[in-house]
């Protein structure tokens, strides 16, 4: 049959179905919807961005506040650390001072104890020295009493506060008027006195010359000095150490017998020998 072509090469495909056509108004609507959607998205994005910026600003402020507070805390911590270090140094210094005070107190107690012991020892030594001095004084007093007893057999001898006084008056040595020479008959008495004084130790010897009241004071003063010097020289020549002998004249200043009689004048023309213990007392001339 001629109406049908059975050749596959020339077989035609059926035509594609036609798409339905959209109306032009719907495309515009979709375009506006997209614009609106984009606008909404932009609005929310901007809004979210502002919120983020706001939160970032707040976080920045909070960070600055935190940094400020941290700075204050750090400063306060440094200050407290310095104060703690100073307190530790003060405590260490106080402990060191306390240790020194304790050591000083212990040392002071030791020194006080040592001082007390030394004071006790010193008091004991002083007591012993005082006892020895008292014993020595009694021994010297006994010796001086014995010396007085011996000298009393030679010449008039008396005890005074300063020692012994031997008076060489008219009954022992007589000086002629206006003379200072020692006559031979009186030298034996001086020799005996010198022999006694040579045997004692620790005494000083003072020779005092006196005159009567005839003549001027100046003349009698010089005469008394010559008489005292004559006795001193004789004692020294007899063996008494001249270093312990001194002489002095008193003129007519101290008469033993008042009056103008010849006996009174003879009594006042005298020489006295003072004997003083130099190991116990250091006093002036015996009177």
Provide CB contacts within 8 A for 209, sequence distance 6+.
180, 223, 224, 225, 226, 227, 228, 229, 231, 247, 248, 249, 250, 271
- Cα 267 to Cα 25, 70, 157, 219: the distances in Å are 186, 121, 15, 18
User: Does the structure show a pLDDT above 80 at 21?
Assistant: no
Q: What is the mean pLDDT of residues 248-257?
A: 87
Given pLDDT bands bounded at 50, 70 and 90, which one contains residue 166? very high
The CATH number corresponding to 154-277 among 3.40.1410.10, 3.30.1330.60, 3.40.109.10, 3.40.50.620 equals: 3.30.1330.60
User: Does the structure show a pLDDT above 90 at 149?
Assistant: yes
The domain limits of the chain are 90-136, 154-277
CB atoms within 10 A of CB 252: 21
User: Does the structure show a pLDDT above 50 at 146?
Assistant: yes
User: Does the structure show a pLDDT above 70 at 161?
Assistant: yes
CB atoms within 10 A of CB 192: 16
Tokens representing 266 are 């003879």
Q: What integer pLDDT is reported at residue 205 of this predicted model?
A: 94
User: Does the structure show a pLDDT above 90 at 235?
Assistant: yes
Q: What does the mean pLDDT of the chain come to? A: 82
Provide CB contacts within 8 A for 138, sequence distance 6+.
none
Q: What integer pLDDT is reported at residue 24 of this predicted model?
A: 58
Q: What is the mean pLDDT of residues 133-140?
A: 87
Q: Where on the phi/psi map is residue 245: left (φ > 0), alpha (ψ -120 to 50), or beta? A: beta
CA atoms within 13 A on the CB side of 75: 6
Q: What integer pLDDT is reported at residue 15 of this predicted model?
A: 60
- Output 217 or 74, whichever has higher pLDDT: 217
Q: What integer pLDDT is reported at residue 151 of this predicted model?
A: 93
User: Does the structure show a pLDDT above 50 at 284?
Assistant: no
Q: What integer pLDDT is reported at residue 283 of this predicted model?
A: 41
Q: What is the mean pLDDT of residues 181-190?
A: 88
Q: What integer pLDDT is reported at residue 55 of this predicted model?
A: 80
Which percentage of the chain shows pLDDT scores above 90? Answer: 28
- Output 56 or 9, whichever has higher pLDDT: 56
Q: What integer pLDDT is reported at residue 48 of this predicted model?
A: 81
Provide CB contacts within 8 A for 245, sequence distance 6+.
205, 206, 207, 232, 235, 236
Q: What is the mean pLDDT of residues 124-145?
A: 88
Q: What integer pLDDT is reported at residue 50 of this predicted model?
A: 83
Number of residues written out for the chain: 287
Taking a C-beta distance cutoff of 8 angstroms, is the pair 180, 260 a contact?
Answer: no
Nearest Cα to 197, choosing from 248, 160, 145, 244? 244
CA angle 231, 235, 236 (to 5 degrees): 115
**Where do the DSSP E strands lie in the chain?**
156-159, 164-168, 203-209, 245-249, 271-277
Q: What integer pLDDT is reported at residue 95 of this predicted model?
A: 81
């Amino acid at each position: 049959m001629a109406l049908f072509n059975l050749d596959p090469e020339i077989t035609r495909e059926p035509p594609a179905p036609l798409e339905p056509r959209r109306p032009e108004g719907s495309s515009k609507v979709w375009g506006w919807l997209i614009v609106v959607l984009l606008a909404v998205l932009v609005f929310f994005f901007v809004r979210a961005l502002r919120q983020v910026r706001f939160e970032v600003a707040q976080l920045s402020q909070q960070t600055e506040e935190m940094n400020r507070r941290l700075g204050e805390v750090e400063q306060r911590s440094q200050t407290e650390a310095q104060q703690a270090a100073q307190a530790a140094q003060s405590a260490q210094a106080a402990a060191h001072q306390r240790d020194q005070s304790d050591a000083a107190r212990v040392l002071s107690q030791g020194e006080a104890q040592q001082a007390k012991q030394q004071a006790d020892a010193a008091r004991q030594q002083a007591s012993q020295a005082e006892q020895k001095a008292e014993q020595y004084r009694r021994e010297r007093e006994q010796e001086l009493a014995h010396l007085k007893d011996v000298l009393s057999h030679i010449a008039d001898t008396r005890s005074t506060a300063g020692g012994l006084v031997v008076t060489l008056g008219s009954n022992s040595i007589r000086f002629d008027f206006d003379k200072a020479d020692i006559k031979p008959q009186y030298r034996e008495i001086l020799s005996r006195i010198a022999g006694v004084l040579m045997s004692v130790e620790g005494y000083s010897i003072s020779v005092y010359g006196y005159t009567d009241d005839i003549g001027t004071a100046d003349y009698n003063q010089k005469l008394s000095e010559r008489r005292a010097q004559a006795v001193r020289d004789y004692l020294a020549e007899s063996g008494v150490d001249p270093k312990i002998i001194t002489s002095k004249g008193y003129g007519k200043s101290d008469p033993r017998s008042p009056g103008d009689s010849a006996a009174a004048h003879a009594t006042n023309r005298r020489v006295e020998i003072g004997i003083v213990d130099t190991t116990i007392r250091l006093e002036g001339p015996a009177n």
